[in-house]
Amino acid sequence: MILIIVNRCQCINVKFVKLWHLAALFLSLLGAFPAYSDEVSLQGSLSNRLKYRTTGTAKDLDWESLFSLDVGWPQVDRFSGSLLLGGLFDMDGRKGGTTFSSLNDALHQRAVGRIYYAYFDAKDLGPIHALRAGRQNRFEFESLYFDGASLEFKPVKNFTLSVLGGVPVHLFENQSGLDPGDWMVGSVLQWDPLTVLRFRFDHVHLKDKTTGFRSSFGDQQDDLFGGSFWWDVDRHVSLNSRFTAFSDQVRDFSFTTKVYYPEHDFSFRLQGYRLLKGYAIRVLDWDAFGVAGSLLPYTEFSMSSTKGFGTHWAVDGGVGFRFLDQPQVASAFNHGYERFFLALSSFDLPCHGLSMTVTTDYYHGRDNSLQNDNFAVSFTATQKLLGNRLRLSGGTQYYLYRYNLYAGHESNHVRTYFAQIRGKIFRQLEGRLGYEFEENPINNFHSLDTRLIWSF
């Protein structure tokens, strides 16, 4: 099926073929794993997705294929590996500048190959506790996406050292995601003085030769530093906090408090965040939304809790506040507001396998562009049938605002209506069919999404 689509697109180029050559090399290297293990487990999936969108006049038809493969189990095996390949195909040739423009159209090609990740894991290599080599994502400190290696050494007197380095991956700059001249290095020092207390100190240096959508600003390089701590006060309460700074200015501070009583089916979460200094024109990895405008200092707090009542009911509720230091200066991702929400969920009522959630939201704006009170209700329902082999779901969702990064505009008061059916066609073949209608002040959008997933 993939070959038929590619032939129709008539746009396979040398770079596209090279990507699949790299993937083939990765697969051949995995063949060496049996030399280190008597048994090697293989599991993966092949997903084909067709998405059709229309406003009645403008139309868009896209195909996406994903192939994943996991070799071994990283939790128990000394050697393991993972691979995720993709292909994006524009079936109707409508590209940038249309109603349906998106980040996937950034390369202006009708067929785009992707290697999302491809890495090896190894454990217990002498002084090295864990090694990962290849294309990978690391989220422990910041979202770092790169081709390279990360090493974690074995602890010495409660201190653990980790290092990483490689080339940042930006899949919307070119098909391989690499730009000559980009590079990154980082290090982590973790200290565990007690089993319930942990401190962590991070440093990452990033060089970005072309800063994504803002290439006119030239080359950028930044150093980001961070300090974090975690404290398990007891088996019910935990605290963590983090502070980060660039080499030339402080950035932000955050904290989280969690309370969990499983015996009472109750949890509570308190979060706070302070953007200490506004910033823009940093490397793309740390300023992905800079295209929407500079982020200016603000303070944000949120509280939420969940309480279950028996086996059939649960209530979620909470509040959130964001205060801009300069309320008259608001932009996308930088609004001041008050939010209150309350959600009621039911399970197996009035029939077995049916779950429903009703959520009410209240917003009060606190800046020059979001001043009115807003009240909305959202609803979702899911029915499981045939022993969970078939699922029917539907509902409606409200968004105070949604932003299209590539088109560069923000929409307010967006409501969607959706329905989906998913189920097992055969033992290892799953099918999904979904429809969404979006009411947007700009236009009304219809989306039809079909997907087949074969797991092995």
Could you tell me if 117 and 146 are in contact, meaning their C-beta atoms sit under 8 angstroms apart?
A: no
Measure the CA dihedral 31/35/40/45, to 10°: -10
Task: Determine the 3-state secondary structure of 27 from DSSP.
Answer: helix
Identify the pLDDT of residue 34. 46
Please give the Cα distance from 439 to 445 (Å, whole number).
7
E strand or H helix at 301 = strand 298-309
Identify the pLDDT of residue 37. 46
12 occurs within a structural domain = yes
- List of residues 6+ apart from 90 with CB closer than 8 A: 9, 61, 62, 105, 109, 110, 111
Please give the Cα distance from 9 to 430 (Å, whole number).
27
Identify the pLDDT of residue 230. 98
CA angle 49, 54, 58 (to 5 degrees): 125
Identify the pLDDT of residue 5. 35
Residue 107 domain boundaries? 1-119
Say if pTM beats, i.e. exceeds, 0.95: no
Query: Tens-of-pLDDT digits for all 456 residues of the chain?
Result: 333 333 334 343 444 445 545 555 555 545 545 444 456 789 999 999 999 989 888 888 999 999 999 999 988 899 999 999 999 998 876 554 566 766 666 667 788 899 999 999 999 999 999 999 999 999 999 999 999 999 999 999 999 999 999 999 988 888 888 888 899 999 999 999 999 999 999 999 999 876 555 554 567 889 999 999 999 999 999 999 999 999 999 999 999 999 999 999 999 999 999 999 887 778 878 776 665 566 788 999 999 999 999 999 999 999 999 988 887 666 666 788 899 999 999 999 999 999 999 999 998 887 666 667 889 999 999 999 998 899 999 999 998 877 665 555 677 788 999 999 999 999 899 999 999 999 988 788 899 999 999 999
E strand or H helix at 5 = helix 2-9
Could you tell me if 44 and 30 are in contact, meaning their C-beta atoms sit under 8 angstroms apart?
A: no
Place of tokens 């009304």: 444
CA angle 346, 349, 352 (to 5 degrees): 120
113 occurs within a structural domain = yes
Closest CA to 252 of 264, 244, 260, 263: 244
Identify the pLDDT of residue 179. 81
Q: What's the number of domains the chain is made of?
A: 1
224 occurs within a structural domain = no
- List of residues 6+ apart from 19 with CB closer than 8 A: 113, 114, 115, 175, 176
E strand or H helix at 17 = helix 14-30
93 occurs within a structural domain = yes
Identify the pLDDT of residue 264. 95
20 occurs within a structural domain = yes
Alpha-carbon distances of 218 from 132, 211, 283, 300, rounded to whole Å: 32, 7, 10, 33
287 occurs within a structural domain = no
17: number of Cβ within 10 Å? 11
226 occurs within a structural domain = no
The structure tokens listed for 268 are 């509570």
| Phi-psi map region of 408: left, alpha, beta (phi>0 left; psi -120 to 50 alpha) | left
Please give the Cα distance from 410 to 440 (Å, whole number).
11
| Phi-psi map region of 196: left, alpha, beta (phi>0 left; psi -120 to 50 alpha) | alpha
145 occurs within a structural domain = no
E strand or H helix at 20 = helix 14-30
Alpha-carbon distances of 153 from 35, 130, 241, rounded to whole Å: 25, 7, 24
Identify the pLDDT of residue 404. 62
Could you tell me if 413 and 375 are in contact, meaning their C-beta atoms sit under 8 angstroms apart?
A: no
| Phi-psi map region of 327: left, alpha, beta (phi>0 left; psi -120 to 50 alpha) | alpha
Identify the pLDDT of residue 8. 39
Please give the Cα distance from 45 to 66 (Å, whole number).
8
